[in-house]
Amino acid sequence: MKYYAYENFRDDTKALIKQIDEFNPQAVVGIARGGLTLAHCIAEGIGLREVQTLRTELYDDTKKRECISVFNMCDFEKDIKRILVVDDIADSGDTLDAVMKDLKAKNLEIEFKSATLFYKKTSIYKPDFWINEATEWIEFFWEKDFLK
């Protein structure tokens, strides 16, 4: 298990912001909970007031597979054409895969790209922008620093 401190996050997020510069997003969507701090800091870094969040839930369907529901509470202004979706890590990739499919299906005229701090090579979904390959379990500072 690797502890991922704020200083690591700060440096990686700045590197991620450089990568996404070419995409020039007009809004940021963070996937709760893991993507919230990253969404906030990217939006501040690139000067976007428009930050929204969504959350997902795992459930077992009748065939006993795990499925993901996306609670998409996002409502985008009509002039927004490029949106960045962020999460902390593409691990299995299930969440990002479900979220990106859902957002694209519901907003056909918007271009969505994704960004994560970590990407595991076995993920079924590869983010458009990512910084580190995850080779062990990552303990993010927000998961550790605020426990009693």
Give the Cα separation of 145 and 129 in Å (integer). Answer: 27
Give the Cα separation of 9 and 121 in Å (integer). Answer: 20
Q: Looking at the chain, list the stretches that DSSP marks H as alpha helix, in order from N- to C-terminal side.
A: 6-20, 36-46, 94-106, 141-144
**Contact range with a second copy by CB under 8 A, out of 41-49, 62-70, 109-117, 123-131:** 41-49
- Does residue 146 bind a second copy (CB under 8 A)? yes
Q: Beta strands of 64-136 (E only): which ranges?
A: 66-71, 82-90, 111-119, 129-133
- Does residue 40 bind a second copy (CB under 8 A)? yes
- Does residue 39 bind a second copy (CB under 8 A)? yes
Residues 111-140, one symbol each (x = binds a second copy by CB under 8 A, - = not), give ------------------------------
Q: How do 51-60 and 66-71 pair as beta strands?
A: antiparallel
Residues lying near a second copy in the complex (CB under 8 A) are found at: 6, 10, 13-14, 17, 30, 32-33, 36-37, 39-45, 49, 51-53, 55, 71, 73-75, 142-143, 145-148
